[in-house]
A and B are shown apart, each in its own frame.
Chain A
Amino acid sequence: MRYAVTFRAKDSDPGMPRSALPPPNQARLVFQLSSDASIYESVLIPLKSEWVDTSGPLAGFGIDITQSDIDSLGDAITDGLFTNPFADDIGVLVSAHVEMTV
Chain B
Amino acid sequence: MRIVLPSNYPTGECILVPIDTGLAPLIAGMLQQFTEKRVWEQDSYHDGYLAIQGVIAAMTSNCTGAIVDELRAFRGIKPEFAGTPIEEQTSDMFNSLNDLLQSTLALRGIMDDGWFSDTYTTIKDVVQVTRGLDQTNAVGMWDTVKDLIITSSSGASILTNIADLLSDVSETAVEGGLLTALIAIEASNAAIIQQQTLLQASTYTTLNSILAALRGVDPPEDNILQAIRGTTASDETRNVVEQLL
Contacts and interface: CB of A to CB of B under 8 A. Distances in A.
Is B one of A's binding partners? yes
Interface stretch (A3-11, A13-21, A23-31): A23-31
B25 A98 contact: yes
A24 to B, nearest CB: 10
Given A57-B21, A95-B60, A101 B46 contact: no
Nearest to A102: B29
Contact of A41 (B22, B24, B37, B53): B53
B29 A101 contact: yes
Contact of B32 (A25, A30, A39, A101): A101
Given A62-B60, A102-B29, A97 B50 contact: no
Contact of B25 (A41, A44, A61, A94): A61
B150 to A, nearest CB: 74
A59 B57 contact: no
A100 interface: yes
Interface string A47-81: 00000000101111110000000000000000000
A100 B22 CA distance: 11
Contact of A42 (B22, B57, B62): B57
Given A39-B50, A85-B49, A102 B30 contact: yes
B29 A97 contact: no
25 contacts: A23-B29, A26-B29, A39-B53, A40-B50, A42-B35, A42-B53, A55-B87, A57-B62, A58-B21, A58-B60, A59-B21, A61-B22, A61-B25, A61-B60, A84-B49, A86-B46, A86-B49, A96-B60, A97-B24, A97-B60, A99-B25, A99-B32, A100-B25, A100-B29, A102-B26
B6 interface: no
A99 B60 CA distance: 11
B148 to A, nearest CB: 71
Contacts of B53: 30, 39-42, 84
A100 to B, nearest CB: 4
B179 interface: no
A42 B29 contact: no
A98 B57 contact: no
B21 A61 contact: yes
Contacts of A61: 21-22, 24-25, 60
A54 to B, nearest CB: 12
A79 to B, nearest CB: 20
Nearest to A30: B57
Nearest to A95: B60
A99 B57 CA distance: 12
A23 B32 CA distance: 14
B39 interface: no
B32 A85 contact: no
B106 interface: no
A94 B54 CA distance: 12
Interface string B124-146: 00000000000000000000000
Nearest to A96: B60
